[in-house]
Homo-oligomer: A and B are copies of this chain.
């Protein structure tokens, strides 16, 4: 399964960007299948359809590829929470969006890479720094969203209480990554509904 580049490129800059993206796509696949340390440059280069040496024209070293993959993965998470905050009726938006988000989290292929990233963060300070910065941003956004919902429902929470609810919500979501690996046979749609109920309850918890 080789990743090729079919689109023509006017400028050399866009060509280089496409080549970089090609490498990242191949690397993501390898990292998913073999982990960060089990995936070799040789294998990545084969899937990307270029020589091993050539990869070093686009990335300083393997660590840089890992960093780019991690940053790219977290960027989608950041835009997602930002979108959520922009919704008008926030409570319904959150709960409706949740079902969609749950199904995303339950996709085994993407879950494998996300879990690999956190595992790497637990031991690689460079990755940990990227992951924690992104997580802090997500938490801040989510805290604002939840704070607004709770205030609208007449609750007057301390910042700490809001932060705790954010943690529980995040745990619920991220836990699905592990669940879909441990139990690939779970019923995704029904679990999504249950999660919606749980989020609903969480938003009504006493302060």
Binding site for B on A (CB under 8 A): 32-38, 108, 111-112, 115-116, 118-123, 128, 131-132, 135-136, 139, 160, 163-165, 167-168, 170-179, 181-184, 186-187, 190-191, 193-195, 197-198, 201-202, 205-206
Contacts and interface: CB of A to CB of B under 8 A. Distances in A.
Given A35-B36, A119-B119, 9 more contacts: A34-B123, A108-B122, A115-B119, A128-B181, A168-B191, A178-B178, A197-B205, A201-B201, A201-B202
A168 B132 contact: no
A175 B170 contact: yes
A160 to B, nearest CB: 7
Contacts of A120: 35
List the number of copies, as a whole number. 2
Contact of A160 (B38, B190, B201): B190
Given A195-B168, A201-B198, A182 B119 contact: no
Contacts of A32: 122-123
Contact of A190 (B164, B170, B182): B164
